[in-house]
Homo-oligomer: A and B are copies of this chain.
Amino acid sequence: MDALPETTRKFVLHWGEMGTRWGINRTMAQIHALLYLSDRPLNAEEICTMLGLARSNVSVAIRELQSWGIVKVTHLSGDRRDHFESMTDVFEMFRVIMNERRRREIDPTIRLIDDCLASATEKDAGAKMVKDRLEHMRSFFALALTFSGQMERFSTPTLVKAAKMGDKALKVLGLTGGKE
């Protein structure tokens, strides 16, 4: 970790911490940060020494990053070791991550809510409130799905433009009425 340029080191450490706050383990996040700022693919051994981590730890973290789809393996000619590089378009990366988390967490949650709703129906009327609340939450997640669908469908520049338009966009669409 001492061999790293100061700026990279700072960012890697911070990114690692942020990871832990979002349910991503430190090692994974640090490796990702390192690759993101690297000007060339790195092999596992290099990552180990640069970050001061055990080889095995790096191995599983990289595999996980690959399974998320934000790190790819490449091969340099004349070197049989795997080299790794991060996706560089942060917007695209965000989409990929959102999509993956949707698959891993949102989808199962919706299924569970449906489950709860189904079994609640057969029970006593005392569950009325519970059902209402669950349905409300379900509608939220449904919207989240719609939304993540949009995110995936459109290119980065389009989304940037849309976001920047903001209120103006909604006015054009005739969606805004009162206080807003």
Contacts and interface: CB of A to CB of B under 8 A. Distances in A.
A129 B173 CA distance: 40
Contacts of A5: 123, 126-127, 130
Interface of A is mostly: helix
B179 A167 contact: no
B127 A154 contact: no
A176 to B, nearest CB: 6
B120 A90 contact: no
Interface string A11-24: 10010001011110
A100 B134 CA distance: 24
Given A8-B130, A150-B166, A170-B162, A136 B22 contact: no
B133 A147 contact: no
Nearest to A159: B143
